[in-house]
Chains A and B, each alone.
Chain A
Amino acid sequence: MEIKKKLLMSSKETRQDKFGKSISYLSIGFIILLVSLILYFIISKGLSTFTQNNVNVWDFLTKQDWSPSSIGKDGKPEVGALPMIITSFGVTILSAILATPFAIAIGIYMSVIAPKKGRKFLQIIIEMLVGIPSVVYGFLGLTIIVPMNRHLFGGTGFGILSATLVLFVMVLPTITSLTVDSLNSVPKYLSDASLALGATRWQTIYKVILRAAIPGILTAIIFGMARAFGEALAVQMVIGNATLMPKNLITPASTLTSQLTTGIGNTVMGTLGNNALWSLALVLLLMSLVFNIIVKIIGKRGSIK
């Protein structure tokens, strides 16, 4: 009897196991709840522009006049987000194009050319760049880059070019560190085999290591773009915030995020002015989802077999 009871009773170890499990399930459940609440809030708020205020979704995405708090010429509020969407994509793509060559060069240096010396030194620099808050980048942009562009190109100096240059510095560490990771994860036997076949170091880097690391580098670029797309404060400080269709790189423009940060304090919850801003937030959310899906696809397709 005694033995049977002892055998059927759960041991200390089992109870520990259960306890640990329930703690982690609790945490996971909480995070899932939190994320779904955030999603629900943004989606319901963002859609109310179209459901409550009867704004046409197509007009929202294609019209160019943005003035949701006041009535436009045709008696309806002007809720056209196209200039912001274009500008957001513009600064994102331009800064990624600018940052990628630098990131790959630094990555090759850190992982292939000088793994010991380069790593130590550059790692510190990159981590430092990551640690600087975005308001500091914005402030530097406002005091250095904007006057520089004004001097070089005329106008006010505010615009897509200034935003691109600020974002370049901000996405560089993201793209670089992920590129280094992907270069490091290229199997050593590939480069060894290439060298054994008589290829020079440059040929090995260019034809073998870079080639094998391409999916990882693409992922790094997408992550950098996601960072640039979502950056608000630094961009808002240097882009000028004019809700105009960007004609060139040196006239003031406005991104989705800069419109959100400048507008949200001056509108009242529940009005169209406020709902329209939530719709911009919804666009941002959907875009970050798209970026994540692209990363997943690249990861699946591009891995070396």
Chain B
Amino acid sequence: MLNAKKFISIISIMIISGLVLTACGNSNDSSKSKITAVGSTALQPLVEEAANEYQQNNNNVSITVQGGGSGTGLSQLQSKAVTIGNSDVFAEKQNGIDAKKMIDHKVAVVGMAPVVNKSVGVKNLSMKQLSDIFTGKITNWKQVGGKNQTIEVINRVKGSGTRKTFEADVLKGKSAIKSQEQDSNGTVKKIVASTPGAISYLAFSFMGDNTLQPISIDNVKPNDKNVEDNSWKIWSYEHMYTNKNIDKATKLFIEYMNSKEIQNNLVKKLGYISIHNMKVTKDANNQIVK
């Protein structure tokens, strides 16, 4: 009987402590407004850092930031499981998402550039050549003035925001050849740096060190300044989507993301381009407006 008694007491302790803990949680909830931002891993570091700074000054708000991918972010927002869906792509371009029910807040711009292994001996390509490489028409570097070496195309996984942007701006509707796919900027960087003949594309923030060769397109260099006036064509927005009926705390946080303080410091520090510096805008159908 002692054992049974012990068992019962353990169970009851667990139940009671559970109740107490949830009660604590509830009291926390009522005094703090909660924001959950889920989605794009490319945007995650920026939102995380911004959320940390924001919470230090506003201790009545608790912000949770998670990755999971742009698709996850948008579908979680659509089912109202989260308050903010982070996305690299326009919601209009994501299958199964009703973009009309969401508000788009653009918080940063990301430039992307083709990168190659240093051994191929090519520093500049025309847009046509680049597109031909990724559609499989050009298969050897000597065809574009490099060494006699087979081209190894390394793609990002289907549905990744970087790939969607690259294909929209470079391939313009043509489909890429089937080839190796990697699911993060970091892995792509590592592979291109070590594989002879490899080509892929990366966000500017991943090209800092000297391990690979960024490619100029039609003699335009991939840098922030060229993105700002659209002479460098491959770039996209980082979006933070919310539902139409947005609560006050979320609204304030998004305003904070777009404030000068964040845009001029954190955004630049982490390798994004400030939304305030852009001289053009791009819409969901990839049309440029000056």
Q: B-contacting residues of A (Cβ < 8 Å)?
A: 12, 15-16, 19, 23, 67, 69-70, 142, 147, 150, 155-158, 236-237, 240-244, 252, 254, 261-274
Tell me what chain B mostly uses at the interface: helix, strand, loop, or mixed.
Answer: mixed
Q: Which partner residue on chain A sits nearest B94 by CB separation?
A: A268
A156 touches B95 (CB 8 A): no
Cross-chain contact of A266 among B1, B7, B157 (Cβ < 8 A): B157
**Known A16-B1, A70-B175, A271-B96; contact A156-B159, beta-carbon cutoff 8 A:** no
Q: Shortest beta-carbon distance, B194 to chain A, in Å?
A: 6
B181 touches A241 (CB 8 A): yes
Q: Flag the segment in B49-57, B71-79, B127-135 that touches A.
A: B71-79
**Known A155-B152, A156-B191; contact A263-B159, beta-carbon cutoff 8 A:** yes
> 3 shortest A-B CB distances, which residue pairs?
A265-B69, A266-B159, A271-B96
B195 touches A157 (CB 8 A): yes
**Known A156-B191, A156-B198, A263-B159; contact A270-B96, beta-carbon cutoff 8 A:** yes
Chain A residues within an 8 Å CB radius of B1: 12, 16
B287 adjacent to chain A (CB < 8 Å): no
A242 touches B178 (CB 8 A): yes
Cross-chain pairs A/B with CB under 8 angstroms, 7 sampled: A265-B67, A266-B69, A266-B72, A266-B159, A268-B78, A268-B95, A269-B96
B180 touches A156 (CB 8 A): yes
Chain A residues within an 8 Å CB radius of B75: 268-270
Q: Which partner residue on chain A sits nearest B79 by CB separation?
A: A269
Interface size on B, residues (CB 8 A): 37
CA separation between A151 and B178, bound complex, in Å?
23
A242 touches B159 (CB 8 A): no
Q: Shortest beta-carbon distance, B75 to chain A, in Å?
A: 4
CA separation between A147 and B190, bound complex, in Å?
11
CA separation between A156 and B191, bound complex, in Å?
8
B94 touches A156 (CB 8 A): no
CA separation between A240 and B3, bound complex, in Å?
56
Cross-chain contact of A267 among B4, B95, B179, B182 (Cβ < 8 A): B95
B183 touches A262 (CB 8 A): yes
Q: Shortest beta-carbon distance, B183 to chain A, in Å?
A: 4
Q: Shortest beta-carbon distance, B215 to chain A, in Å?
A: 19
Cross-chain contact of B178 among A16, A244, A266 (Cβ < 8 A): A244
CA separation between A19 and B71, bound complex, in Å?
48
Q: Shortest beta-carbon distance, B87 to chain A, in Å?
A: 11
B134-165 CB contacts (< 8 Å) to partner A: 152, 154, 157-160
**Known A16-B4, A69-B95, A273-B159; contact A268-B179, beta-carbon cutoff 8 A:** no
CA separation between A57 and B95, bound complex, in Å?
23
B158 touches A263 (CB 8 A): yes
Q: Which partner residue on chain A sits nearest B76 by CB separation?
A: A269
**Known A156-B198, A242-B179, A267-B95; contact A69-B191, beta-carbon cutoff 8 A:** no
Q: Shortest beta-carbon distance, A61 to chain B, in Å?
A: 19
Q: Shortest beta-carbon distance, A20 to chain B, in Å?
A: 8
B65 adjacent to chain A (CB < 8 Å): no
Q: Shortest beta-carbon distance, A191 to chain B, in Å?
A: 45
A262 touches B152 (CB 8 A): no
Chain A residues within an 8 Å CB radius of B243: none
Chain B residues within an 8 Å CB radius of A236: 183
Chain A residues within an 8 Å CB radius of B79: 269
Q: Shortest beta-carbon distance, A259 to chain B, in Å?
A: 9
B97 adjacent to chain A (CB < 8 Å): yes
B71 touches A267 (CB 8 A): yes
Interface centre among A15, A241, A268, A274 (most CB of B within 10 A): A268
Chain B residues within an 8 Å CB radius of A254: 181
Chain A residues within an 8 Å CB radius of B97: 268
A243 touches B178 (CB 8 A): yes
Q: Shortest beta-carbon distance, B117 to chain A, in Å?
A: 11
Chain A residues within an 8 Å CB radius of B154: 156
Q: Shortest beta-carbon distance, A181 to chain B, in Å?
A: 33
